[in-house]
C-alpha cells in the first residue's frame, strides 16, 4: 500500500479522498491554484503546492506541473478525483512514464471509453444493447444533418469526448439542427478540446440508471447495485438515489452483468460507472462509461457499507477486490442532492459570491455532507458552482425521503443564491414521491416546480424586525458594560420618550425592491421585549429572546424558533423551508440585480463572451441570438427582446465581463 499520494483535484472530491487516505494511514499532497490558496482541501492535506493561476487551464489541467510536484514531494501515486484530468489518457501515460501509479483504469480503457462513438462499437461487440444513432467519424455538418433525418427526431447531439452534460443538445426538428450542432460543437471544443459529435435517438420517457462496477488487476469484476439519476437539468444530475426504485430484479441482474461485460471488454481496473437508459418497456441501452469515480458514489457507499475510495487505493496498489459478487449486499435506501450556487428561477444560471453564512445539518449514521467549502469561502466563476453533496440513508425510500427533507431544512446558506428551496420542491413533488421518474422530470413538471412563491411575508418581516430590535438592545447593553457609566440612561434601548409610548420603526426591503415599514410599540411593564408590531395594517403581539443567531419568538401566542443570518446590511430569516432575505434600512434594488430576458441587455453573471454575433448598425429581430456567454462551464445565449437596430457593442469576444455590465445598446422600433 502507498504511504503518500497526490490528489490532482480540488474542492469536495479532494477532501473526500484525503479523508479516506488519512483513515488508511496514507499521507496526502494537495495542489492548488492561486484562487484556492486558503481552501479546505489545502488545509486538510499534509502538504500542498501552488501550481498556477486561477483558470483551470493554467493550474489543475497542467499535468506536467502536477507530475513535477508528485516527484518533488515523493508521492507514489496520483488520485485524479473526477473532472479535470480524471479521464485524460495523456496524463495517465505521463504518470506511467514517471513511475507514478495512476489511481484509475489502464490507459487503453480510458482511450476506449474516451470517445463515445468508439465506445459504442466496443459495446456492440460485447453484446451490450445500444440506442439507435450515428457514431462515425464523418463530421461534415451536412452529412450529420442527413444522418439525423435517417435516425428521426427528437434526437440528442452529444460531444464524443464530453461528459457532465457539456456539449449536449436536444434537437426536436430539422429546423433546429444547424444552431444546435454549432452550439454543441463550440461548447465541446471549449470544454474538452475536441468537437467530434455523435447522434442518438432521443427516448421520450427514459430513466437514467447506472451501475457501479469495480475490477482488479487479477481479472475479477463486480457490480455494486445501481443508482437512479433520472432527475436532471441541462443533462446534469440533480438528485441521485440507490437502489433504483421499482427496478425488477431480473432487469437489475441483467443490467449489472452487462455492465461487468462492458468493463471486462476493455480490460478495466478500478472504479467505473456504466450508464444506461432504461425505457418504459423494460429495455435498457448503453449510454456511456465513465472511467472514474462518480460524483454520486456516496449513495452506493451508504447502501452497501463499502468505502469506494478505499477500494480504489487497494486495487491501484495491486490488491484483489475485497469481496466477490455473491457477497455484495444492499441495505436500505439512500439519496444524494447536489447543492449548487445557482438560481433555479433564472434558468439555473450559476451564482457567485461569498458564503457569508453557512450551517450544515448534523452528520450521523443517517446524514452525511461531502463538501470542499467553509463559511466565508468564495464561489467564483473559475470552477464548478457545487457547494456540497448532501447524502441521507434510511431503511426504506419513504423514510430516507423524510430524512432528506429535514436535512435540507437544516442546511442554511446566505450570501449566495442556491438551489436549496428548489431541491425541497423536487423532493416534495407527488410524482417524485411516487417514483414516477424520467429524465424529463423537471421540464415535465415545470409549472408546479417553478410556481411563483406567494407566501405571506408578514411573519418573516415581523421576525426580522424583532431580531433587529433585540440585536440593537443587546449591542447597547454590551456597550454600556464597557463604558465609564454603565447605568447611564443614554445607553438604554427602550424607545422611551416623555409622555409618549415607547415606539420603534424598522424599514426592511425585500428581494423585489419593495420597502416595508414595521412599526413597534413596547408594551408597558414587560420584563422581556414585548411589542405591538404593525405591518400593512395588521397588528401582532410579538416577543422573543436572541441567542447569537437563534431567535426564539412568539407571534400572537405562536412560539417559533428561527435562525437569522446578519451580514452586509442584510438579514436572512431561515424558517424551515421559508427563507427570506431583507435589506436593513437602506433600500436595495434587488429587482434589477439580475437579468430578466427582455429587459436591459446586461451580463446575467460574471463570465466570458464566447461570441458576439452582431455589430453596430445591424438590424435585429425579436429572439435573435446576439451574444453567447460562458461561465462555470455552461453557455448562456442573450437574445434580442424585440426588433430594433444595434447602436453600440461594448465588448469583443473573449472579454471577461462582470455581472450587470451593459453588453450592447439597441434602439428598438416603435411598438
User: Whole-angstrom Cα distance, residue 651 to residue 105?
Assistant: 44
Please calculate the CA angle 484-486-492 and round it to the nearest 5 degrees.
130
The dihedral region occupied by 227, where left means phi > 0, alpha psi between -120 and 50, and beta the remainder, is: beta
Which one from 40, 207, 292, 338 is the annotated catalytic residue?
A: 292
User: Whole-angstrom Cα distance, residue 224 to residue 212?
Assistant: 5
Sign of CA dihedral 17, 22, 26, 28: positive
Q: Report residue 386 as a C-alpha cell.
A: 457545487
Q: Is 645 in a helix, a strand, or coil? A: strand
Q: What's the distance, CA 573 to chain centroid?
A: 23
User: Which residue in the block uniquely carries the three cell numbers 441501452?
Assistant: 285
364 burial level (CB within 10 Å; 0-12, 13-18, 19+):
exposed
653: enclosing H helix or E strand: none
User: Which residue in the block uniquely carries the three cell numbers 449536449?
Assistant: 168
What are the start-end ranges of the E strands in 441-569? 503-509, 515-522, 530-535, 538-547, 550-555, 558-567
Other CB atoms within 10 Å distance of the CB of residue 517: 13
User: Which residue in the block uniquely carries the three cell numbers 480504489?
Assistant: 312
Question: What is the DSSP secondary-structure string of 134-170?
Answer: E--S---HHHHHHHHHHH-SSEEEEETT--TTTTEEE
User: Whole-angstrom Cα distance, residue 263 to residue 286?
Assistant: 12
621 burial level (CB within 10 Å; 0-12, 13-18, 19+):
exposed
Distances (CA, A) of 530 to 184, 316, 499, 538, 553: 60, 65, 19, 16, 10
How is residue 360 annotated by DSSP?
P
Distances (CA, A) of 668 to 51, 217, 256, 643: 49, 66, 58, 6
50: enclosing H helix or E strand: strand 47-52
Q: Respond yes or no: is residue 292 known to be catalytic.
A: yes
Q: Residue length, the chain?
A: 671
Question: What is the DSSP secondary-structure string of 45-80?
Answer: SSEEEEEE-SSGGGTTT-HHHHHHHHHHHT-SEEE-
Contacts (Cβ under 8 Å, ≥6 apart) of 278: 206, 207, 208, 209, 244, 247, 251, 255, 284
Q: Taking a C-beta distance cutoff of 8 angstroms, is the pair 607, 656 a contact? A: yes
Q: Report residue 28 as a C-alpha cell.
A: 496526502
Active-site residue set: 292
Amino acid at each position: 500500500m502507498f504511504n503518500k499520494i497526490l490528489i490532482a483535484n480540488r474542492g469536495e472530491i479532494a477532501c473526500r479522498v484525503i479523508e479516506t487516505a488519512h483513515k488508511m494511514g496514507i499521507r496526502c499532497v494537495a495542489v492548488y491554484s492561486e484562487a484556492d490558496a486558503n481552501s479546505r482541501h489545502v488545509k486538510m492535506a499534509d502538504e500542498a503546492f501552488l501550481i498556477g493561476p486561477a483558470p483551470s487551464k493554467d493550474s489543475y489541467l497542467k499535468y506536467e506541473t502536477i507530475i513535477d510536484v508528485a516527484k518533488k514531494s515523493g508521492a507514489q501515486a496520483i488520485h485524479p478525483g473526477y473532472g479535470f484530468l480524471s479521464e485524460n489518457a495523456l496524463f495517465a501515460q505521463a504518470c506511467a512514464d514517471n513511475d507514478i501509479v495512476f489511481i484509475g483504469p489502464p490507459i487503453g480503457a480510458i482511450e476506449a471509453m474516451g470517445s463515445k462513438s468508439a465506445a459504442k462499437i466496443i459495446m456492440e461487440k460485447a453484446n451490450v444493447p445500444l440506442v439507435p444513432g450515428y457514431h462515425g467519424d464523418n463530421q461534415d455538418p451536412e452529412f450529420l444533418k442527413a444522418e439525423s433525418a435517417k435516425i428521426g427526431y427528437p434526437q440528442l447531439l452529444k460531444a464524443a469526448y464530453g461528459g457532465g452534460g457539456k456539449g449536449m443538445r436536444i434537437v426536436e426538428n430539422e429546423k433546429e439542427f444547424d444552431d444546435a450542432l454549432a452550439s454543441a460543437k463550440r461548447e465541446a471544443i471549449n470544454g474538452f478540446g475536441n468537437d467530434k459529435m455523435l447522434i442518438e435517438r432521443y427516448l421520450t420517457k427514459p430513466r437514467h440508471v447506472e451501475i457501479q462496477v469495480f475490477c482488479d488487476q487479477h481479472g475479477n469484476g463486480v457490480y455494486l447495485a445501481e443508482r437512479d439519476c433520472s432527475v436532471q437539468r441541462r443533462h446534469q444530475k440533480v438528485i441521485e438515489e440507490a437502489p433504483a426504485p421499482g427496478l425488477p430484479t431480473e432487469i437489475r441482474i441483467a443490467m449489472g452483468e452487462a455492465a461487468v461485460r462492458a468493463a471486462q471488454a476493455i480490460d478495466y481496473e478500478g472504479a467505473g460507472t456504466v450508464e444506461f437508459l432504461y425505457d418504459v418497456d423494460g429495455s435498457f441501452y448503453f449510454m456511456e462509461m465513465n472511467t472514474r469515480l462518480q460524483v454520486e458514489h456516496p449513495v452506493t457507499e451508504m447502501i452497501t457499507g463499502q468505502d469506494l475510495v478505499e477500494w480504489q487505493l487497494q486495487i491501484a496498489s495491486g490488491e484483489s477486490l475485497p469481496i466477490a459478487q455473491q457477497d455484495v449486499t444492499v441495505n436500505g435506501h439512500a439519496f444524494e442532492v447536489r447543492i449548487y450556487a445557482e438560481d433555479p428561477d433564472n434558468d439555473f444560471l450559476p451564482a457567485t459570491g461569498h458564503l457569508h453564512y453557512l450551517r450544515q445539518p448534523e452528520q450521523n449514521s443517517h446524514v452525511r455532507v461531502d463538501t470542499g467549502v467553509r463559511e466565508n469561502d468564495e464561489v467564483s466563476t473559475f470552477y464548478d458552482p457545487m457547494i456540497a453533496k448532501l447524502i441521507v440513508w434510511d431503511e426504506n425510500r419513504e423514510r430516507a425521503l423524510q430524512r432528506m427533507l429535514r436535512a435540507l431544512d437544516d442546511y442554511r446558506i446566505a450570501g449566495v443564491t442556491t438551489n436549496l428551496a428548489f431541491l425541497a420542491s423536487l423532493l416534495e413533488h407527488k410524482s417524485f414521491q411516487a417514483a414516477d421518474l424520467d429524465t424529463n422530470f423537471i421540464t415535465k413538471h415545470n409549472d408546479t416546480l417553478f410556481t411563483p412563491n406567494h407566501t405571506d411575508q408578514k411573519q418573516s418581516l415581523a421576525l426580522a424586525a424583532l431580531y433587529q430590535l433585540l440585536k440593537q438592545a443587546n449591542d447597547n447593553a454590551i456597550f454600556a458594560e464597557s463604558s465609564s457609566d454603565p447605568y447611564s440612561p443614554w445607553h438604554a434601548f427602550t424607545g422611551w420618550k416623555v409622555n409618549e409610548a415607547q415606539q420603534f420603526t424598522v424599514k426592511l426591503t425585500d428581494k423585489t425592491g419593495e420597502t416595508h415599514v414595521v412599526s413597534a410599540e413596547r408594551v408597558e411593564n414587560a420584563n422581556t421585549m414585548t411589542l405591538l408590531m404593525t405591518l400593512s395594517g395588521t397588528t401582532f403581539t410579538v416577543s422573543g429572546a436572541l441567542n447569537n443567531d437563534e431567535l426564539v419568538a412568539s407571534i400572537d401566542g405562536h412560539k417559533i424558533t428561527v435562525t437569522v443570518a446578519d451580514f452586509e446590511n442584510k438579514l436572512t430569516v431561515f424558517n424551515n423551508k421559508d427563507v427570506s432575505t431583507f435589506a436593513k434600512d437602506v433600500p436595495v434594488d434587488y429587482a434589477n440585480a439580475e437579468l430578466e430576458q427582455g429587459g436591459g441587455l446586461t451580463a446575467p453573471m460574471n463570465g466570458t463572451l464566447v461570441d458576439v454575433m452582431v455589430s453596430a448598425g445591424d438590424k435585429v429581430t425579436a429572439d435573435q441570438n446576439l451574444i453567447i456567454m460562458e461561465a462555470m462551464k455552461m453557455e448562456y445565449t442573450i437574445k434580442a427582446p424585440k426588433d430594433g437596430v444595434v447602436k453600440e457593442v461594448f465588448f469583443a469576444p473573449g472579454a471577461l465581463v462582470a455581472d450587470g455590465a451593459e453588453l450592447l445598446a439597441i434602439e428598438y422600433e416603435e411598438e
